[in-house]
Amino acid sequence: MSGVGFLPPPTTTTPPEPLTAPAALTAPAPEPARCLHDLFAARAQAAPDAIAAVQGDRSISYGQLRERSLALAAALRERGVGPDVVVGLHLPRSIELLVGVLGIQEAGGAYLPLWVGHPAERLQHMLDLSGATVLVTDDAAALPAFTGARVPVDAVATGAPVEARRPTPDHLAYVIYTSGTTGTPKGVAVPHRAAERIVRSGHYGTWGPGEVFLQSCPLSFDASVFEVFGALANGATLALLPDQRVSAEAIAATVRAHGVTTAWLTPTLFNRMVDDGGLDGAGVRRFVVGGEVLSTPHVAKALTALGARVSNGYGPTEAGVFVCCQDFTADDLQYSPPPVGRPLPDTVVRVLDEHLRPVPDGAEGELYLGGGALARGYHGRPALTAASFVPDPHATTPGARLYRSGDLARVLPGGLVQVLGRADDQVKVRGNRVELGEVESALATSPGVERAAVVDRVRGAEKVLVAFVVPTPGAAPTVTALRARLAADLPDYMVPSEFHRLDALPLTAHDKLDRAALRADTTAPALELGSRFVQAASELELTLAALWTDVLDVPSVGVDDNYFDLGGTSLTVPELHRRIHEELGARLPATALYEHPTVRALAESIESTGALL
């Protein structure tokens, strides 16, 4: 995980030389901080009839959104919600989700996003860890283990108004849980002052009425803060993706339907849409890309083909979403990966060695982050907070802290920061932070598994997780059984795409797991799939099975084999859809393979819906 503890003391008995000129990249002095919902309220008061959000054929004005959020806030205050009180938020992507976010914050509370579709056991664990006793939801049957108060998003107060204690910028805006090495997610507690830095117009983009922001991230992904409040804090319109899986097709359709001008994308999606031309001529004026390492060739191609500004939004959840951001220029593209930019206001960036001393410009060190960007810490976990948020030995402000990001970086000429890789076992999959140790912990509790290791590996244009399993004596765990077990506890992006069997895990000379050897291993046999092979019978099934075999590069496909058990991923789904359209003339919705993940089920769906032209 990021920040695995205090750095070890120097091995030499001579103390490090004192720093005479602490090197840090510091942004200009910030404007006075404000709460996120207060920025929205000011816009609603100034232009109540302006459109705040659209989704499909639905829309809501700033005044209507303000009115509905105030009603929810009053109902929440009756249930004891106030400053620093964490409130669960379990709603699909919708206008009602925005009402929930603003209503919770207006009541003084901090929203805890519980993304619909993630395993219920994991979401309940987050509620338990957060101490939340109030849940905003539109599904009375959701999360049945929750024993607190369930509040509909359209709830209204039933009694006399409860006097409100207004939150300040130092109070919590949200708590987002991220992957943890021990198998326990970590709740990052972020105050308003840390988050509102990134939505102030003029810092690294100019936004206001007339702009349209895309909203495609789950709220459990902190880039959603930029999407939602980049629009609502500046009088712009927020265009919400339909409530379905994020796909390049859905993004392109939403961008064109609603005239999106600003979009945040993960590099995985950005690269694919640049290659496919899905956004050519769509009118997007600015892309902010982050969550993973960028591809210099794709940035260069986008600057030419799309005629848009492209920025790299870099930062961990623990530091208010973004700490560095800037528009790319041709000069930046001489570097690979391209730089992440300069610090945003109220942000300190230091590149330090193992003794917390600044390294010379151009030299590699570990990236430490400070200033007003920092989260308060990990909610309810003071020991973990103390280990990850360390005192800043170079600050002149008493009590200043630094967050050890775990990223390796260097400072380029002109003060640009370039992130080079990781110092630990954290990886990014489709922009989501994954601690390999958490996936390994879940695998280790699975029946038939004695030991397990997980690594990341690049497959084509995307990064996937690959699991290596040492079975217990006499056991024969299968891919189907292990994926089902993991899917009950982990979100889909944390479930490995490949499973291999080993007699023993490789170790380094220091008896530590040799992840490099596992990443390079191409000979370990695959685990048995675990489903009975049934040969395709009809002409349609035979064609689909042949296409799956080709796209997934597997020896054979039975009609009851699960596409994702065979190693299919979100990036291979569009390729298969394209091939099906070319071979059969069938146009499938983006969600088809998720809803019908076997050849038999997909063939029946195609026949029943008349998808064949």
The domains of the chain are located at 36-154+163-411, 426-520, 539-609
Taking the domain 539-609, which CATH number applies?
1.10.1200.10
Q: Which of 24-28, 91-95, 557-561, 585-589 has the highest mean pLDDT?
A: 91-95
CA triplet 131, 79, 156: central angle to 5 degrees? 130
| 104/171 Cα distance (integer angstroms) | 13
538-556: average pLDDT: 90
pLDDT at 36: 97
What digits encode the pLDDT tens for the residues 56-84?
Answer: 999 999 999 999 999 999 999 999 999 99
Asked if the 36-154+163-411 domain carries CATH number 3.40.50.12780, the reply is yes
- Identify the CA nearest to 603 among candidates 550, 538, 553, 549: 538
Query: Hey, what are 542's tokens?
Result: 């035979």
Instruction: Determine the average pLDDT of the residues in 314-334.
Output: 89
Note whether 319 and 348 are within 8 A (CB): no
The Cα–Cα gap between 106 and 41 comes to: 9
Q: What is the pLDDT of residue 431?
A: 78
> Model confidence at 264, in pLDDT bands (50, 70, 90)?
very high
**Percentage of the chain lying above the pLDDT 90 cut:** 55
Mean pLDDT of 29-48: 91
Is the pLDDT score of 31 beyond 90?
no
pLDDT above 70 covers what percent of the chain? Answer: 94
Place of tokens 């799939």: 529
CB 468 within 8 A of CB 454: yes
Q: What is the pLDDT of residue 11?
A: 34
CATH code for the domain defined by 426-520? 3.30.300.30
The size of the chain, in residues, is 613
